[in-house]
Amino acid sequence: MNILITGSTGFLGQALIREIKDSKYKLQLIVRKRQQREKKFFCNLENIKKVKSILNVLKPEIIINLAAEINFSKKTKKMYTINTLVPKIFAQYCKKNNKYLIHASTILVNGIDTLYSHQSKLKPFNYYGKSKLSGEKFIVQSNCKYTIIRYGGIFGKNGPKHLGINKLINKKNSNKRILFSGSINSMRNYIYVKDAAKDIAKCLKLKKYGIYYSGGQIISFKRMLNIINKKFGKKNILFKENSTKNLDQIVKNTIQFKKRAFSKAIDDIK
């Protein structure tokens, strides 16, 4: 069974490939740079004609779309193409050919909230969230077979820097002092990248159609930073409380399998 994966060289994409590489599936990996390698196919996702062409050539039975253009501060044409139009094309292909689409999305389609779930309103506050929500809507409206997973923060080794915890993890070998500024007792349930990949693998295996939310252990920033300091044998992460108000943001986990504790994830990274 052929699976086409976009975002295959990214943070989550690499974790997913490691998770399912020994399975029965034949992986077809979309890459951003030209490579003369088996199973890897160059496709600039900004080129809509090329995207349609590669679908017709490869004829995947399953598409896992992990590609995203992330910019929290400004609107870009590339963001609309990658986050909105590409999912639309994938959904149209899957509907026409009776195939299956798994799409990685974000809780930012709900904007800012304290608890993210199916009861949360769809009120994105920036263009990134709006573009991802538009992509989701095209998928749902196509009436294809789909799974959409809305993630909050995903952490791990070499994780994206826009998540503060990843900055701290990536600097674990530095002797320089690192300052954390925020509401230290606020709660989060970021998900470890390997667990995020398992989410997708489980949905793939069980054909869990619909929209899901995924998060990890609920834990405060203070506890997370203490664990990182302890596990890496450092005392170089300092706390600076700049808010007396707790700003909790919890993602209700609707994909039911056991996620590892934050401390266990840090052990794995270590």
User: For the CA atoms of 142, 147, 148, 153, what is the dihedral angle to 10 degrees?
Assistant: -160
Tell me the pLDDT tens digit for each residue of 211-264: 999 999 999 998 998 898 888 876 667 777 766 677 899 999 999 888 999 999
Cα separation values, 15 from 140, 168, 238, Å: 26, 20, 30
pLDDT at 55 over 70: yes
Q: 51: closest CA among 82, 96, 13, 95?
A: 82
pLDDT at 178 over 90: no
Residue pair 231/266 in contact (Cβ under 8 Å)? The answer is yes
From first CA to last CA, the distance across the chain in angstroms is 35
**Residue-level pLDDT at 230:** 87
Query: pTM of this prediction?
Result: 0.94
Strands 219-220 and 187-188, by their bridges, are: antiparallel
Ranges of each domain in the chain: 2-154+190-214, 156-188+218-248+257-269
Residue pair 63/102 in contact (Cβ under 8 Å)? The answer is yes
Mean per-residue pLDDT for 142-166?
Answer: 95
Options 2.60.120, 3.90.25, 3.30.450, 3.30.2320; which CATH number does 156-188+218-248+257-269 get? Answer: 3.90.25
Q: 180: closest CA among 134, 236, 245, 139?
A: 236
Q: 29: closest CA among 3, 55, 47, 49?
A: 3
What is the rounded CA–CA span in Å between residue 138 and residue 216? Answer: 28
Mean per-residue pLDDT for 59-78?
Answer: 93
For 2-154+190-214, CATH gives: 3.40.50.720
- 240 phi and psi, to 5 degrees? -130, 105
What is the rounded CA–CA span in Å between residue 30 and residue 239? Answer: 41
| Sheet hosting strand 210-214, strand order edge to edge | 40-42, 26-31, 2-6, 62-65, 100-106, 145-151, 210-214
2-154+190-214 against 156-188+218-248+257-269: fold identical:
no
Maximum alpha-carbon separation in the chain: 57
